[in-house]
Amino acid sequence: MRRALLALTASFAIMGCPDPNKPEVEHPKVGNIIDPSAQQTSVVTGNNEPLVVDWAATARGNLETTMHDGLAIVSFTPQGLRVLNGCHVDGNYGFIGMAMKQQVVRLENEQEIKANLPLGGLGLAAQFGGEFQRGAVLDVALVMVGKMRTTWRSVARKDLQGDCAGATHFVRGALVGAFAMDKGQKSQARAAAQIFGFGANGGTRTSEGLHQTDGRLEDCAKASPELPSPPGQCAALVRLDLQEIAQDEKRADVKAQPSTTGDAVETTKCPSGMVSVDGKCAEKGSTTTAYECTGERADECYTQCEKGNLASCTKRAQMGLTGVNGATKEPLAAAKLLAVACKAGHARGCGILGAVFLDPKLVQTPDPKGAFDLFQRACNAGDEFGCYGVGGSYLFGRGVAKDQRSAVNALAKSCSGGWDAGCSDLGVLFLGGNGLARDDVKAATLFKRACDGKNATGCGNLGYMVETGTGVSKDIKLAAQLYEKACNTDDESCSSVAVLFQLGKGEPKNDGAVVKLHQKACTAGSVISCAFLKSYVDPRVTLDLENAKNAMSVWQGTCSNGIVRDCTQAAVIALSVGLKDQGSLLMKKACQLGDDWACANDKLVIKAQ
């Protein structure tokens, strides 16, 4: 199996579902439009992060239940936002905690209410009537303690299951915590606790027909990045992350997450003519405050960064690291922007800066200790990429003493937060030999979660489990499909397809294809493909010794716990670094244990010196 590591058991259960053993709390109806079934009139579409604080508790409970059964699918059209209960995608959500955050979102006109509250906004706007002209506003206090997230980053029509007529978006994730919504005055600024008002003791209350709350501030104050679920009555859904469903597989084809940029630059979507500012979509000309750039143009992101928008600084830095969207590739300038964003509290900026500190291609002298501190800061703020960095630091002793348990915990958080590489690495650890009891079923489940996110390593590892019938049913045809998916997602994963061509399993034997696929994978950074080529094809092939050492360490552990293919891979590494006797003995052992790839390799001429 390919190298990949990091995290313990992810919490996949959905928190905050209604308890059937407790009596229903009386929930308010703001106008008559908060119930999805009552939605008839035209709304403003285009906001991919709408608030759900205007929903009736029964509607939010229905969404939570739907998310428990798979990926939730919605229809978001001018006719309204509604959950399609009979439609889903085969996947799940995890929860990643964070230190408690508070935000007050002030909706100042009818357009803002319609754009940010697409379910009940029309009724609320109608209730306000001409009060906006007299200085009235709708204040929404958000207390956030974590987020639910899936590893799926794109969904195509073919992925939908059930009655999916009208499906437009899937729910990629949601912020959870508590909220309060109340009418206020533009001239009067209020803190979150003031908006919660008499509803601060929990439950859902009404005042003048508009005051609505859900959650207990006292419970939210107990939030911690270490908690596997939201504390007490602080598990309400407050904001969704919606992603459009691609019309075809080509549009849904998302490459693997880059390790340094912390995922591709995510675009922020608001309705036409509106921008994301202060937690809401607002008309572009109505605010002088810096807004979050869309992520599509480097010049826009730089301008908004200069004005003080931290998310724009991080996005512009990502562009500068990779040279995309009109940006010149300038790692040093990008690092400076990340430092600005991180210092001011932007979690993803800290995480990406940590990765920059480790990359010898971007910095003259890597700083593992500095990187670990940045990863930890990001992780504590609920950033899954930061948690992935923490897990790797503990696992390999980068900037901190090796600590298996801490590595597992951090990787579990990363996986629960939707970082697919964290799921794949955690799956490897559950194959045993790394301080964890072997659990093939859990490993396969984690690999599947990683593969859902188009993580090539996860797909390849799941392919191996299916090829050998480890933890799942044996299916050579499905294994070949998974290997092909991995190869199509990331060239580095083409090594597994090369093995099938060498063995004639699921593919016809083709020695030429074997070499070409290994060359393709090696060029992309596959340590096992480079080692194979160096051992059996051309001893002049360059091998990354540090990566080879890390891979060898992992594979020796999983080999000792019965993952025979990893015995073979460890043998190939040994041969490639000149340990001919050790490699040959290990290869024969792997063959005797039943790995047909080892038996095939044992017949090849070793060319490595």
Domain-by-domain residue ranges, the chain? 36-253
Confidence of residue 490 (pLDDT cuts 50, 70, 90): very high
Measured CA to CA, the distance from residue 89 to residue 603 in angstroms comes to 45
Looking at residue 64, the DSSP 8-state letter turns out to be H
Q: What angle do CA 365, 368, 369 make, to 5 degrees?
A: 120
Taking only the tens place, the pLDDT of each residue in 336-366 is 999 999 999 999 999 999 999 999 888 889 9
Flag whether the pTM goes above 0.85. no
Provide mean pLDDT across the span 583-601: 96
Is pLDDT of 152 > 80?
A: yes
- Residue found by looking up tokens 């998974």 in the block: 482
Looking at residue 139, the DSSP 8-state letter turns out to be E
Provide mean pLDDT across the span 279-306: 91
Which residues 6+ apart lie within 8 Å of 302 measured at CB?
312, 316
Helical pair 476-489 and 440-452, crossing angle rounded to 10 deg: 40
- The reported pLDDT for the residue numbered 1 is 56
Taking only the tens place, the pLDDT of each residue in 54-92 is 888 888 889 999 999 999 999 998 877 899 999 999 999
Q: Could you write out the DSSP letters of every residue in 195-248?
A: HHGGGTTSS---STTT-EEES-HHHHTT--TT-SS--SS--EEEEEEEEEPBSS
Taking only the tens place, the pLDDT of each residue in 531-554 is 999 999 999 999 998 889 888 888
Asked whether the beta carbons of 444 and 460 are under 8 A apart, the reply is no
Encoded tokens for 224: 């911690």
Taking only the tens place, the pLDDT of each residue in 387-422 is 999 999 999 999 999 999 999 999 999 999 999 999
Confidence of residue 248 (pLDDT cuts 50, 70, 90): low
Measured CA to CA, the distance from residue 189 to residue 476 in angstroms comes to 64
| Straight-line distance from the first to the last Cα atom of the chain, in angstroms, rounded to the nearest whole number | 25
Q: What percent of the chain clears pLDDT 70, i.e. is strictly above it? A: 88
Is pLDDT of 255 > 60?
A: no
CA-to-CA dists, residue 406 to 217, 403, 413, 557, angstroms: 30, 5, 11, 18
- The reported pLDDT for the residue numbered 38 is 41
Provide mean pLDDT across the span 189-209: 64
Phi, psi dihedrals of residue 42, rounded to the nearest 5°: -75, 140
Provide mean pLDDT across the span 177-190: 92
Confidence of residue 524 (pLDDT cuts 50, 70, 90): very high
Tell me how far the alpha carbon of residue 355 is from its chain's centroid: 16
- The reported pLDDT for the residue numbered 455 is 94
Confidence of residue 34 (pLDDT cuts 50, 70, 90): very low
Measured CA to CA, the distance from residue 263 to residue 112 in angstroms comes to 30
Confidence of residue 20 (pLDDT cuts 50, 70, 90): very low
- The reported pLDDT for the residue numbered 166 is 94
Is pLDDT of 9 > 90?
A: no
Measured CA to CA, the distance from residue 176 to residue 155 in angstroms comes to 23
Encoded tokens for 93: 């959500």
Measured CA to CA, the distance from residue 102 to residue 196 in angstroms comes to 12
Confidence of residue 583 (pLDDT cuts 50, 70, 90): very high
